[in-house]
Amino acid sequence: MHRGARFFLLAVLIASAFMPQPFEQRRGGSAASAVSSYPSNVEYDGRFTFVRLRWRNGGSSRGFWSTAWDHDYPRAEQNLSEIIRELTALDIRLDGSRILTLDDPDLAKFPVAFMWEPGFWELTDTEAAAFRAYLLKGGFAVFEDFDGRAQWDNFESQMHRVLPQARFVRLDPTNRIFDSFFAIQDIETIVHPMSGIRPSYFGLYEDNDPNKRLMVVANFDNDVPEYWEWSGRGLFPFANTNEAYKLGVNYMIYGLTH
């Protein structure tokens, strides 16, 4: 399909606001039925499945943020998966997803995984070793929804426990990940939906070599999945939502092809 046609179809899909799981249901009294209609423990059957990483936090004083890994669940992954199914040849599951801890052996079955709010994430030694093995064997991880110096410092500290020699590299607009399916002209236009902060994108390369595979991408000072979760509700500019979806599709395609 020509890229212009893909863009038009993407616009139509977003405008249609296909959201099978209202946020109010997930947070309200019928949360159990809402989650049961989109289970997070579907059995592996070879099809591509959206994976969200569940992290632990040892600081109970952080309250709400101690379990922030579930932000935007499940509509963010539902809506992005619908877009991917419609616009690509990828056989992605729409009947559910997986939520896995970093030391779950099943993680090795899934090539791409997303983590929310890594600014509050704390690793165990077992998780660090398991996540290292996942990335070095070909896994690709995307980190979303964090901002500010303190959150970056925590994230970087945890990642250095996973890959002690790794060095983060700022990804500029010419990086091939921003052209892996859609050609995103200006990645900085996908501003933080709440604060309007212009984002930064960082990556970790295999052997710290930019000519090799990206193992990790971090969307810093941003909350891209917020656009996915609330698309079609009129909360955020349509153009920004469109670009946020294109970015999500690119990440999935890159992770599956590199």
How far apart (Å, rounded) are the C-alpha atoms in residues 229 and 71?
10
Q: Rounded to the nearest 5 degrees, what angle is found at the Cα of 178, between the Cα atoms of 114 and 19?
A: 50
* Paired tokens of 104: 């779950």
Residue type for 204, please?
Answer: L
Kindly list the strands in the beta sheet with 214-220, ordered across the sheet, starting from the edge strand earlier in the chain.
Answer: 98-100, 51-53, 112-116, 140-146, 214-220, 200-205, 169-170
Q: If pLDDT is split at 50, 70 and 90, which confidence band does 35 have?
A: low
Q: Do strands 112-116 and 140-146 pair parallel, antiparallel, or not at all (unpaired)? A: parallel
Q: Is 49 helix (H, G, I), strand (E, B) or coil?
A: coil
116: nearest Cα among 214, 229, 24, 196? 229
How far apart (Å, rounded) are the C-alpha atoms in residues 209 and 220?
21
Ranges 1-5, 73-77, 142-146, 154-158: which has the least confidence = 1-5
* Paired tokens of 160: 């250095």
Classified by CATH at the fold level, domain 3-18+46-257 comes out as Rossmann fold (3.40.50)
Question: What does the pLDDT look like over 61-119, one tens digit per residue?
Answer: 455 556 899 999 999 999 999 999 999 999 999 999 999 999 999 999 999 999 999 99
How far apart (Å, rounded) are the C-alpha atoms in residues 172 and 200?
9
